[in-house]
């Protein structure tokens, strides 16, 4: 089974064999001493067997971050960059995924950067086009005004390094003095000079009716709004689907992972069309091993293989082992 030599087996990923309990335990509970350790998911024996086709091995390396040489923390998801999705690294292993939350002080979405979730005004402008922190390499030390956020924050240049600073509550940054001021008139003036129209800040439900919809100001993204009686009652962000390990997006009134969204939807869905195909199970071109899509009366449905099974391309069912990833 799985190409193992006789009398050999392999602990599941994130587990190691314990000399004490004589069974597989979580790696954090096992001391291996001089025994070799495999920390990268795509280097596991069972993974290499599942992905024994060269193209599939390359697909695995694109889907999974190699944490072997990385410090503990959160890092960009290898297939969802740039974006708020991250991979968690611990002791050289990829132990999970998640989504960075909005920063409640800066009121901005955060993104994985240097091991932590970081809000946009602390991310360099050069970083994937999402950062809003200016470059200080050619500026003298001092405090500077954000062009896109002049009132309640500033950035500090020190030795060519830029850092984001938030003004204390009820104060505004004065670019002439370089400090945050409590003067009420100045605070009001700053807000009035740089305020945006309400419709630029808040999505409208006027034409939507009641229900769950894509966020009109975010483009195609995981952001959604809830509408009731032509009013926006909630804004939110679709989470990652933990079973499919894929980001979810607003679709047909709910959060749906990409492998269940049709190809033709905004050109980003990964569910192939069943038009002209006979009923049956088919291999995903982007995900050949642990899932398939089912065609029934011209309709396509996403199906996840049960745990410890893989899609067999020869008989088109999920099974242990089999001819897969061809």
User: Highest-confidence range of 40-44, 141-145, 174-178, by mean pLDDT?
Assistant: 141-145
- Cα separation, 190 vs 202, in Å, equals 21
Comparing 40 with 163, the larger pLDDT belongs to 163
- Cα separation, 214 vs 268, in Å, equals 14
Residue 224 C-alpha from the chain's centroid: 16
The pLDDT of residue 78 is above 70: yes
User: What's the mean pLDDT when you consider all of the chain?
Assistant: 83
Nearest to 27 by CA among 78, 69, 89, 79: 89
Comparing 172 with 54, the larger pLDDT belongs to 172
Helix (H) / strand (E) containing 87? strand 85-90
- Cα separation, 307 vs 305, in Å, equals 7
- Cα separation, 121 vs 113, in Å, equals 12
The pLDDT of residue 191 is above 60: yes
- Cα separation, 82 vs 90, in Å, equals 22
pLDDT at 1: 42
- Cα separation, 245 vs 239, in Å, equals 10
Share of the chain above pLDDT 90, in %: 32
pLDDT at 158: 96
Provide the total of helices (H) and of strands (E) in the chain, helices listed first.
4, 24
Is 227 in contact with 233 (CB distance < 8 Å)?
A: yes
Q: What is the DSSP string of 169-206?
A: TT-EEETTTTEEE--HHHHHHHHHHHPPPHHHHS---T
Least confident of 122-131, 177-186, 304-313: 177-186
pLDDT at 267: 64
Looking at residues 108-116, what average pLDDT do you find? 89
pLDDT digits (tens, 9 = 90+) for 45-74: 666 655 555 556 677 788 888 999 999 999
Indicate the burial class of 205 (C-beta count within 10 angstroms; 0-12, 13-18, 19 or more). Answer: buried
pLDDT at 2: 47
- pLDDT band at residue 187 using 50, 70 and 90 as cut-offs: low
pLDDT at 46: 60
Looking at residues 302-312, what average pLDDT do you find? 88
Is 206 in contact with 218 (CB distance < 8 Å)?
A: no
Comparing 205 with 324, the larger pLDDT belongs to 205
- Cα separation, 27 vs 14, in Å, equals 6
Give the other-Cβ count within 10 Å of 219's Cβ: 9
pLDDT digits (tens, 9 = 90+) for 211-269: 898 887 776 788 899 998 888 888 889 988 888 888 889 999 999 998 999 988 866 78
The pLDDT of residue 142 is above 90: yes
Looking at residues 28-47, what average pLDDT do you find? 81
> Coil, strand, or helix at residue 158?
strand
pLDDT at 186: 64
Nearest to 37 by CA among 55, 17, 54, 23: 17
- pLDDT band at residue 194 using 50, 70 and 90 as cut-offs: low
The pLDDT of residue 208 is above 90: no
Looking at residues 90-111, what average pLDDT do you find? 89
Looking at residues 199-203, what average pLDDT do you find? 63
Phi, psi of 16 (to 5 degrees): -140, 155
Is 156 in contact with 150 (CB distance < 8 Å)?
A: no
Is 236 in contact with 223 (CB distance < 8 Å)?
A: yes
pLDDT digits (tens, 9 = 90+) for 13-23: 888 888 888 88
Least confident of 54-58, 134-138, 156-160: 54-58
Is 56 in contact with 43 (CB distance < 8 Å)?
A: no
pLDDT at 176: 86
């Amino acid at each position: 089974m799985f190409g193992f030599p006789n009398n050999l087996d392999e602990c599941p990923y994130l587990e190691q064999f314990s000399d004490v309990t004589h069974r597989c335990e979580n790696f954090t509970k096992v001391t291996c001493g001089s025994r070799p350790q495999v920390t990268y998911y795509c280097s596991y024996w069972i993974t290499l067997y599942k992905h024994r086709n060269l193209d599939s091995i390359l697909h695995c390396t694109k889907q999974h971050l190699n944490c072997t040489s990385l410090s503990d923390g959160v890092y960009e998801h290898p297939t969802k960059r740039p974006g708020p999705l991250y991979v968690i690294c611990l002791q050289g292993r990829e132990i999970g995924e998640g989504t960075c939350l909005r920063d409640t002080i800066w009121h901005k979405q955060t993104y994985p950067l240097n091991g932590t979730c970081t809000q946009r005004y602390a991310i360099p402008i050069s970083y994937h086009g999402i950062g809003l922190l200016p470059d200080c390499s050619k500026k003298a030390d001092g405090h500077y005004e954000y062009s896109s956020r002049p009132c309640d924050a500033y950035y500090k240049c020190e030795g060519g390094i830029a850092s984001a600073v938030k003004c204390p509550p009820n104060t505004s940054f004065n670019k002439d003095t370089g400090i945050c001021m409590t003067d009420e008139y100045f605070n009001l003036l700053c807000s009035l000079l740089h305020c945006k129209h309400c419709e630029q800040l808040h999505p409208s439900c006027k034409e939507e009716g009641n229900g769950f919809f894509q966020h009109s100001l975010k483009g195609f993204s995981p952001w959604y709004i809830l509408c009731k009686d032509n009013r926006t009652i909630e804004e939110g962000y679709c989470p990652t689907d933990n079973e499919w390990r894929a980001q979810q997006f607003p679709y047909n009134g709910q959060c749906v992972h990409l492998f269940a969204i049709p190809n033709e939807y905004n050109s980003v869905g990964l569910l192939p069309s069943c038009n002209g195909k006979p009923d049956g199970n088919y291999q995903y071109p982007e995900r050949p091993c642990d899932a398939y899509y089912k065609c029934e009366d011209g309709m396509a449905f996403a199906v996840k293989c049960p745990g410890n099974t893989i899609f067999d391309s020869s008989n088109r069912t999920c099974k242990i082992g089999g001819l897969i990833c061809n």
